[in-house]
Every structure is written in structure tokens, then in C-alpha cells.
């Protein structure tokens, strides 16, 4: 099984955001997991897809869809 990687330009294009946003997210600890080897930053496709799944919401409130679907009560 081959692992597919995206560089920050490819990921920025996938999400239609600036590559600078990805740089800021790495600095602040946000965004998907990444690998840094030397000066090169890459994102494993499986980590990108997992991050995308974590961002799914059922509404505009800050309540993850998975918890709402499980019947959790919110304060």
C-alpha cells in the first residue's frame, strides 16, 4: 500500500485556501497533522481526510455532528 502525500500548495488548492493559512495553522497547532522532514512539509492524505471528517457539522453552532447524533445533551 502506497501512502499519498500532499504538499501545502496541493492541500491549499484542495481546500481553496491560501498556503499561508496552512502555515499559520501549523504555527498555532490547528489544522491536520503533518510531517516535516528537513525543511519540507507534507500532509498524508489519510490525515487530511480524517481532519475533513472531524470538521463535519450538523448546524452552525459549535456542536460536532457526531455527538449530536449520539443523543448527547448540550448545556
Q: Which residues contact 23 (CB under 8 A, 6 or more apart)?
A: 8
Residues 15-36: tens digit of each pLDDT: 999 999 999 999 999 999 999 9
**Where along the chain do its domains lie?**
5-69
Chain centre distance of CA 68:
21
Calculate the CA 66 to chain-centre distance: 17
Mean pLDDT, the chain, whole residue set: 86
Contact 4, 44 (CB under 8 A): yes
Q: What is the reported pLDDT for 68?
A: 47
Distance CA 20, CA 60 (A): 25
pLDDT in tens, 61-75: 765 555 545 555 444
CATH topology of domain 5-69: Multidrug-efflux Transporter Regulator; Chain: A; Domain 2 (1.10.1660)
Our CA dihedral for 32, 56, 20, 37, rounded to 10 degrees, sits at 10
Q: Look up the pTM and report it.
A: 0.74
Amino acid at each position: 500500500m502506497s501512502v499519498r502525500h500532499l504538499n501545502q500548495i496541493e492541500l491549499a488548492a484542495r481546500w481553496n485556501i491560501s498556503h499561508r493559512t496552512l502555515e499559520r495553522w501549523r504555527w498555532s497547532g490547528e489544522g491536520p497533522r503533518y510531517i516535516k522532514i528537513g525543511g519540507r512539509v507534507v500532509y498524508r492524505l489519510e490525515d487530511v481526510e480524517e481532519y475533513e471528517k472531524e470538521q463535519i457539522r450538523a448546524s452552525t453552532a459549535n456542536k460536532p455532528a457526531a455527538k449530536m447524533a449520539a443523543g448527547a445533551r448540550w448545556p
